[in-house]
Amino acid sequence: MTRIPTINLARDGSARGLTDAFASDDFARRGFAFVAHEGALPEPEIVRKCFAESRTFFDSSDETRKRALTGDAPGIGYTAFASEKLDPSSSSVGDSKEGFYVVRERAKNRWPSAAFEDAATTYYESMYALGKRLLPALARACGVNDAYFDAHWSASSHNCVLRFLKYSASRSDEGEGQFACGAHTDYGALTILAVENDGSTGLEIYDRETETWVPVTPPPDHFVLNVGDLLERWSNGRFASTRHRVMTTGERERFSIPFFFEPSYDAVIEPVCVGDGEAAKYAPIRFGDYLQEKYAQTYE
């Protein structure tokens, strides 16, 4: 049974409530939680605004979208339809989605419009602030001092990335190797994902106990928070980075907005949550070097 804890910062944003959620076995085993928009953002309305801008952008002409392409700077701006395969071993075609990346250094971003820039920048800053609010409780759940993770997410050097995604209305088909987003784990620390309130999100997580894919349906106006490989490593395996994928039914397009909450390149990831008498399972590694290793594995 996959139980996903819900975090409500408006109600139990107190140190205690948050710490309890992160300390729960359900969170540790699945690495997934829901977070209510209310209390997490200064203005929850900004999520709706971002989805509206996202729709406008992805509905714009080929020419407008391609203008936001950054061939020389991958990982910024527009990424074309089906240009990625997150699970190459099971996929016959590229994932049925297109995307738009936003990075911290404002001047590097490629904005299709001032309205999009405005909404996305506000949202980016709110999500960075939300991630920072989670860090003390995460530290406490790991048995280290509250400020432990803070220095690694300094405002001038963190590597948080916001991404707008549009999945086409095609039908995913596992047997045919057609996925909206192929099975993968996130490589970083934490992902905070916004989905539209349409009831059936298409997001699925792999349940190792039953060896089945289980749909993840957040309550309306809730984010999906999940642990990535970096935090699994950082927590010495306490928090699981769980495989997930997106399957679409072919009825309609799907929009989502993941925010990847990542530290500075110079952050040294040294396993915490190492119990008495236990040994660390991983050697310390600089985040920048860890990323290079990941890319080398992905593209070898």
Ligand X SMILES: O=C(O)CCC(=O)C(=O)O
285 touches, from Fe ion, ligand X, none (C-beta below 5 to 8 Å by class): none
Which spans of this chain sit near Fe ion (rule: CB under 5 A)? Answer: 186
| CA-CA-CA-CA dihedral for 243, 274, 269, 204, to nearest 10 | 10
246 touches, from ligand X, Fe ion, none (C-beta below 5 to 8 Å by class): ligand X
Residue selected from 7, 41, 160, 203 as contacting ligand X according to rule CB under 6 A: 203
C-beta closer to Fe ion: residue 19 or 54: 54
User: How would DSSP label each residue in 136-195?
Assistant: HHHHHHTTS-TTTTGGGG-TTT---EEEEEEE-SPBPBTTTTB-SEEEE--SSSEEEEEE
We find the least distance from the C-beta atom of residue 179 to Fe ion, in angstroms, to be 12
256 touches, from ligand X, Fe ion, none (C-beta below 5 to 8 Å by class): ligand X
C-beta closer to ligand X: residue 239 or 272: 239
We find the least distance from the C-beta atom of residue 226 to Fe ion, in angstroms, to be 7
SS3 label, residue 3 = coil
We find the least distance from the C-beta atom of residue 188 to ligand X, in angstroms, to be 9
Q: How far apart are CA 51 and CA 292, in angstroms?
A: 32
Contacts of 103-108 with C-beta under 8 Å, sequence gap 24+, read: 103/75, 103/76, 103/159, 103/161, 104/158, 104/159, 104/160, 108/73, 108/76
C-beta closer to Fe ion: residue 186 or 204: 186
Q: Which helix (H) or strand (E) holds 22?
A: helix 15-23
CA 7 to chain centre: 16
C-beta closer to Fe ion: residue 111 or 234: 234
C-beta closer to Fe ion: residue 19 or 242: 242
Closest C-alpha to 269, from 294, 249, 250? 294
Q: Which 238-267 residues touch ligand X, going by CB under 6 A?
A: 244, 246, 256, 258
We find the least distance from the C-beta atom of residue 148 to ligand X, in angstroms, to be 26
Task: Based on the shown chain and the rule CB under 6 A, indicate whether residue 193 belongs to the binding site for ligand X.
Answer: yes
Q: How far apart are CA 123 and CA 163, in angstroms?
A: 11
Task: Based on the shown chain and the rule CB under 6 A, indicate whether residue 186 belongs to the binding site for ligand X.
Answer: yes
Which residue in the shown chain puts its C-beta closest to Fe ion? 186
User: Contact residues for ligand X (CB under 6 A)?
Assistant: 165, 181, 186, 193, 195, 203, 244, 246, 256, 258
